A and B are shown apart, each in its own frame.
Chain A
Amino acid sequence: MRFFEDIEVGQRRELGSFTFTADLIKKFAAQFDPQRFHLDEEAGRKSLFGGLAASGWHVGSVCMKLLVADGQCQAAEAAARGEKVAIWGPSPGFRELRWIKPVLAGDTISYASEVESLRLSDSRPEWGILQARNTGTNQGGEQVFSLLATAFVPRRNSHP
């Protein structure tokens, strides 16, 4: 993970991709979102989605999974160079989440994150606040998911 001072508006990270198999879609849905179009192929075909569709919360949770994996990758690279590793803080939330198109069984979604804004926290001077547009794009090149996420990012000289 990078420190606040290492980040610039417009920086983009490709986070990798994830294939939503029918089994994974149904497993998540059975636990958290058992609407029929997320559990049953036939019900999915008859729905607005046109097929067995992943829960939007599954699509968002996988974005988080790939963001964390990318951060761990960057942390390992920094550690290998002998640099201090930044540990990011929690997120106060997000805005403008759009489930633009359904994620159907078998779709492979490639995620990316692009920095939209950076500012210092007023109440916590040892932290900066980053806004990033996180997106998911399917194998056909169509954007299916987008959100504007916020996170606390540590400042380089404020953390041991």
Chain B
Amino acid sequence: MTLCFEDFSPGHFGSFGPRRVTREEMLAFAAEFDPQPMHLDEAAAKRSMLKGLSGSGWHLCSIMMRMMFDGYLGRTASLGSPGVNELRWLAPLRPDDELTLDIDVVEARVSRSRPETGIVTFKGVVRNAGGQVLCEMVSPILVQRRAGVTAEQAG
């Protein structure tokens, strides 16, 4: 069944993963979108603040998006997202990390300008196998309300 606005209420929503990230995919993303030496070159990476080869933060965000899609957004009546309130990169993504994603619903409210649509604000936390938090994000997503709910209220 497709998830609608009414299926999201504040609190813990779910845990997703694990998703393993290989060195090859880290290097491929960095080569295309973020070719800084700390993401591409072992020796340069060792000298960097992150002290070893690390994945691009945008790769980590993109993987989190895919984990959200596979976990629940792919079966949600999502209309897209207006943005990200805050994103924090707290620890580096390393080759062969096994990522898990925890999703909380921070807020769920009906849109004032589009009463047939809800705005669900999610907090996502990505951790590695050791439980270290790599990334935290707070982002709203527009989600359709279940058919009938708006009709009832309009009537």
Contacts and interface: CB of A to CB of B under 8 A. Distances in A.
Interface of A: 28, 31-35, 37, 47-49, 53, 55-57, 60-62, 64-65, 68, 72, 87-99, 124, 127, 147, 152
Given A34-B69, A35-B69, A61-B33, A93 B62 contact: no
A34 B38 CA distance: 29
Given A35-B73, A89-B49, A97 B84 contact: yes
Q: Is the interface of A mostly helix, strand, loop or mixed?
A: mixed
A142 B85 CA distance: 21
B79 interface: yes
Interface of B: 32-38, 48-50, 54, 56-59, 61-63, 65-66, 69, 73-74, 78-90, 92, 142
Given A90-B49, A90-B54, A94-B84, A35 B74 contact: yes
Nearest to A127: B49
A99 B82 contact: yes
Contacts of A98: 82-83
